[in-house]
Amino acid sequence: MALNLIRKFTLSGLLGAMAFSASAETFVFTAIPDEDETKLVERFRGVADYLSEELNVDVRYIPVKSYAAAVSAFRNNQVQLAWFGGLSGVQARRLVPGSEAIAQGVEDEAFQTYFIANTSTGIEPAEDLSELQDGLKDKTFTFGSKGSTSGRLMPEFYIRETFGEQPEDFFSRVGFSGNHTRTLRLVEAGTYEVGALNFQVWQKEVEDGNVDTDAVQVIWETPPYPDYQWTIRGDVNDRFGEGFKDRVKEALLSLDDKALLESFPRSGFIPASNDDYEPIRKTAEEIGILD
């Protein structure tokens, strides 16, 4: 009888361990590398800690080296959640049927790109981009990442629409810095005369005293458009349990840690849907970035 009890408890323990192992999967997320990596790691490790506590599962953030890598990781189910820009989110959701945009920053409903110029160019700020045609013609210009909404898609759209030329034909030289912070530094240093970047990065760097405003200034602001969002795979409930997707959404919408929000920077998160990003999809198709 004692032997039977031992066997019973041993089997029970093994089954319990197996059940724990099956339910103890790690929920993994990533983010597009739109700023310096050290800033992103600090920010998203804080998000991972917050989500782990709210969801009662192990949550891990993994950094990636490019926008394309973030999309690939999402497509291959290496991550189940991602902080995407407007364009990268559209790309990812096209590749993973059933995936959804679930939350965006309050500021992401009406995001903007700033065109900045080194003051040595003599270009003065204008409300209408067409007013800057003569000053911008044949200058050197840098976008951010090739996959960036605010650093490439929208500025390229307005350049084409306003000047009737592709950027490569309008400017004397066109580059891709890789992220918004680097765009700012390159224009500030005069490596490129003009550039386009996320307005949030500009404002935060100015507030933190990291910009030499005698060397670089904003010369034009785009009209508003939808941008960043949290996108989640549609199969997370199968993997993490019924209702998990809704729990993730609720956790993101409830995030109120002031320091963590400031690191984005965002004042909070609000609901989002795939339909919110139709203008981005249409613009990307119009200029040939999406097939």
pLDDT in tens, 118-132: 999 999 999 999 999
How is 121-152 classified by DSSP, letter by letter?
G-PPP-SSGGGGHHHHTT-EEEES-TT-IIII
CA 38 to chain centroid, in Å, comes to 15
Q: How many CA atoms lie within 13 A of 32 on its CB side?
A: 29
**pLDDT range class, residue 290, cuts 50, 70, 90:** confident
Q: State the Cα–Cα distance between residues 96 and 33, nearest whole angstrom.
A: 21
Q: State the Cα–Cα distance between residues 212 and 220, nearest whole angstrom.
A: 18
- pLDDT per residue over 69-85, tens digit each? 999 999 999 999 999 99
Statement: residue 6 has pLDDT above 50:
no
| Mean pLDDT to the nearest integer, 185-192 | 98
- pLDDT per residue over 215-224, tens digit each? 999 999 999 9
- pLDDT per residue over 131-159, tens digit each? 999 999 999 999 999 989 999 999 999 99
- pLDDT per residue over 227-285, tens digit each? 999 999 999 999 999 999 999 999 999 999 999 999 999 999 999 999 999 999 999 99
Of the candidates 70, 1, 16, the one whose C-alpha atom is nearest the C-alpha of residue 40 is 70
Position 165 scores a pLDDT of 96
Statement: residue 36 has pLDDT above 80:
yes
Amino acid at 29: F
Q: How many CA atoms lie within 13 A of 269 on its CB side?
A: 27
DSSP reduced 3-state for 105: strand
Statement: residue 24 has pLDDT above 60:
no
Statement: residue 20 has pLDDT above 50:
no
- pLDDT per residue over 44-56, tens digit each? 999 999 999 999 9
Statement: residue 67 has pLDDT above 60:
yes
25 phi and psi, to 5 degrees?
-65, 150
Statement: residue 3 has pLDDT above 70:
no
For residue 112, how many other CB atoms are within 10 A of its CB? Answer: 17
Statement: residue 8 has pLDDT above 80:
no
Statement: residue 291 has pLDDT above 80:
no
Element (DSSP H or E) covering residue 197: strand 194-198
Q: Which two tokens stand for residue 148?
A: 């960036």
Element (DSSP H or E) covering residue 31: strand 27-31
- Contacts with 90 (C-beta within 8 Å, 6 or more apart), sequence order: 277, 280, 281, 284, 290
Helices (H), the chain: 2-23, 37-55, 67-75, 86-95, 133-136, 154-163, 167-170, 180-189, 199-207, 236-240, 244-253, 258-263, 278-286
Q: State the Cα–Cα distance between residues 69 and 89, nearest whole angstrom.
A: 12
Structural domains for the chain: 2-109+227-286 (3.40.190.10), 112-221 (3.40.190.10)
